Amino acid sequence: MKQIIAVHDLSGFGKCSLGVVMPTLAAMGVRACALPTAYLSAHTAFPPCEHAVFLDLTAQMEATLAHWDELHARFDGFYSGFLGAPEQMELLERCLSARRKDGFLAMVDPVMGDGGKPYRTYTPQLCDKMAELSTYADVITPNLTEAAILLGEDYDPAPNRKKAADWLHRLSLEGRRSVILTGLSLTSGTLGAGCFDRTTGAVDFAQAPLAHGVFSGTGDLFASVAFGKLLAGEALPAATQAAVSFVSLAANATLDRGGDPVEGADFEPLLHLLAPHQV
């Protein structure tokens, strides 16, 4: 069973971050060792509340990594999502530098914003630090907003294939890393992603039926499925298609059952589909 470091926040209510990453990877035969960046009583898509809890865990992150070193823990990969401070990103850069070896796979989801705007906590300094951390990754999974931030471009909610391919090439840092660009809608009624594979230099696109609604945590679900497939040795285009298809299936099934998109997609009943040799 492969073992990876999973860096993300933990939300007590709402399906996102580590609450999505760990069960999804477990279903795919991957043990995700949690390195939480923060604890939230509920994810931030819910309205603000005076009793909302946010606990910064930067100090605990460093201590945890030191403890894992004392235990001689060995990891096959690294996945990071939401990060809340420059110190966290600097710590993870050191973590990746120390653990890189043949067969080690590092994925960075550069969580910085959505809908054309950075998240309110993401200052220009924090965005610059995320871009720096992303240079340590073998594969990154930005959405269209995050891609625009990384490239210093204006946000485009609906780039065509030519523009998406250009962004993918540029995000690859001249082919040094693979890229999956999420949130692409290339035909009416579909949504998906495009990918650049650093091993082949090829660009591919994947689309699936669109679920109407803004679902929380689907980026985390997408990245988890894609990462699990890559760890299993699948090629980037196949991993991208599997992630697109699973997220679409989970989101549409949630709507069919009358679920609330703000709470997240009801992916749990479908996890058996991700077991090895199923998808």
Report pLDDT for 278.
53
Its pTM stands at 0.96
pLDDT tens for the chain, 279 residues: list them.
Answer: 999 999 999 999 999 999 999 999 999 999 999 999 999 999 988 988 899 999 999 999 999 999 999 999 999 999 999 999 999 999 999 999 998 888 899 999 999 999 999 998 899 999 999 999 999 999 999 999 999 999 999 999 999 999 999 999 999 999 999 999 999 999 999 999 999 999 999 999 999 999 999 999 999 999 999 999 999 999 999 999 999 999 999 999 999 999 999 999 999 999 999 998 654
CB 115 within 8 A of CB 44: no
Give the strands of the sheet with 54-56, arranged side by side: 54-56, 30-42, 2-13, 77-80, 105-108, 139-140, 178-184, 190-196, 203-209
CB 43 within 8 A of CB 14: yes
CB 193 within 8 A of CB 205: yes
Report pLDDT for 279.
46
